[in-house]
Amino acid sequence: MSLRFHIHTYGCQMNVRDSEAVAAMLAAAGHVRAEGEEDADLVIVNSCTVRQKAEEKAVGKVGNLIAAGKIVGLAGCAAERMGEEVFRRLPKLHFAVGPRQLWRIPAIVAEFESAPPGRRPRRVLAVGAGELPRGLDAHLAAADGSFAAVQSYVTVMVGCDNRCSYCIVPSVRGREWCRPETEIVAEVKCLAARGVKEVCLLGQSVLRYRGDGGRAFPHLLRELQEVEGLERIRFTSAHPAGCTEELIAAYRDCPKVCRHLHLPVQSGSDRILKSMGRRYDRAEYLDAVARLRAFDPEFALTTDVIVGYPGETDEDFEATRSLMEEAGFDNAFVFKYSPRPGTRAAEMADDVPAAEKERRDQVLLADQERRGLERNLRLVGSLRAVLTEGPSKRNRERWSGRDSGNRIVVFPPVDGVSVGDEVKVRVAEAHAQILVGEVVK
């Protein structure tokens, strides 16, 4: 029997990619994608647990879906963290599957749908981050249309061996493991043959990637540069230790590799960075930034910052503020510290009051709003090479796309330009989050 399924995704790009792989596996098993969750028989919530709030959202969502009488599965990081406990919180949940067990979903679903209603398994739990994942290369046919055919995520490594004090990820996504280069290149070739123009390579700390014979990440970039039909290569997330001369040389030699790096800094205070176990200090971080910007002054940098980490003083916070200014981030994501069970930081007192975390969050956001605008104003009058994505989300009468620096560029549509084409846009207007201009023929 074929079920109509829907997958609801929380969290990072890794989860977006995992959801797509699960969708592809379910489609291969004969199930069909529903229009939305209302008309689905099976709904899977792919969850995040990086902060307590993220986990609560997923659990709340699952509760509502169960009440609506669907077959419901909780997948991803929150499922892995909660394990057996998930069924105490959600007694009617049908199945829970951790990030490394997602490939089991089609078989689990088969158990539910093939058994007569009275003989269905009551519940299935598939967790354990020790196993190697499978099905990482499953992609939906481009014809399905539900995932952008212009861009695609490609998982190059799973898990994480960094032990940042605050982070739950290593315990839910397991040890670091890199896919073989040959497999990744074959996958990207296959995507490019289907019309995908841009790939984003995913790993928790992607610059730690090691390919055949221990070759470092820049070698993979050089291999992908040769893939016919592919126009752009992005990757995320990065650590300053990986910003080597070898990486910069790959940027220089590979025009397809986009000039943007998401380089989470987390804090600008050496004391806090040390407690976090980040393995760089402020000076080393800023040195990586300086080398990237010396190579290309327009090189775009984005970051993640945590405010209210245990023991973060006003002085530590001001150090973060000044680092963000010195680094000149093009965009920043600010997170309020949330203690995660089992992490080293959770042993420390969560001593910054909620109101103070909120204040620091707002201050950094306001700083970034101003800085983003300033940085974008410098691009007014310049020509951006924009990969067209189609009608803009905010204003359907305009089209949008991104430049090499991942900046969103909005422009009035012109005849003869279709989704996936690269156009040159002259920037006329700058805002903190977008550039506006017109296509130059």
Residue 218's nearest CA partner among 230, 204, 208, 205 is 208
Buried b (16+ CB within 10 A) or exposed e, 22-54: bbbbbbeeebebbeebeebbbbbbbbbbbbeeb
CB of 394 to ligand 5AD, least distance (A): 25
Select 78 or 140, whichever has its Cβ closest to ligand 5AD: 78
- The dihedral through the CA atoms of 170, 6, 94, 51 has a sign that is positive
Single residue of 5, 7, 11, 430 touching ligand SF4 by CB under 6 A: 11
What is the C-alpha to C-alpha distance for residues 160 and 197, in angstroms, rounded to an integer? 28
CB of 20 to ligand 5AD, least distance (A): 19
From residue 111 to residue 150, the character string flagging contacts with ligand SF4 as x (rule: CB under 6 A) and all else as - is: ----------------------------------------
Select 14 or 25, whichever has its Cβ closest to ligand SF4: 14
End-to-end Cα spacing for the chain:
52
- Residue 12 makes contact with ligand SF4 by CB under 6 A: yes
- Which helix H or strand E contains 332, and what residues bound it? strand 331-336
- Residue 335 makes contact with ligand 5AD by CB under 6 A: yes
CB of 351 to ligand 5AD, least distance (A): 14
Single residue of 23, 50, 109, 306 touching ligand SF4 by CB under 6 A: 50
Buried b (16+ CB within 10 A) or exposed e, 201-236: bbbbbbbbbebeeeebbbbbbebbeebeebbbbbbb
Binds 95: which of ligand SF4, ligand 5AD, none (CB < 5-8 Å by kind) = none
Phi-psi sector, 381: left (phi>0), alpha (psi -120 to 50), beta:
left
Single residue of 209, 299, 337, 399 touching ligand 5AD by CB under 6 A: 337
- Residue 264 makes contact with ligand 5AD by CB under 6 A: yes
Site for ligand 5AD in 47-106 (CB under 6 A): 50-51
Tell me the two tokens of residue 332.
């920043």
- Secondary structure (DSSP) of 115-166: S-GGGS-S-EEE--SSSPP--TT----GGG-SS-SSEEEEE-EES-----TT
Stretch that binds ligand SF4, among 48-56, 249-257, 279-287, 296-304 (CB under 6 A): 48-56
CB of 76 to ligand SF4, least distance (A): 6
CB-based closest residue to ligand SF4: 11
From residue 182 to residue 221, the character string flagging contacts with ligand SF4 as x (rule: CB under 6 A) and all else as - is: ----------------------------------------
Single residue of 45, 78, 167, 250 touching ligand 5AD by CB under 6 A: 167
Classify strands 151-155 and 198-202 as parallel, antiparallel or unpaired.
parallel
Judged by the rule CB under 6 A, the positions of this chain that interact with ligand SF4 are 11-12, 14-15, 48-50, 76-77, 169, 173
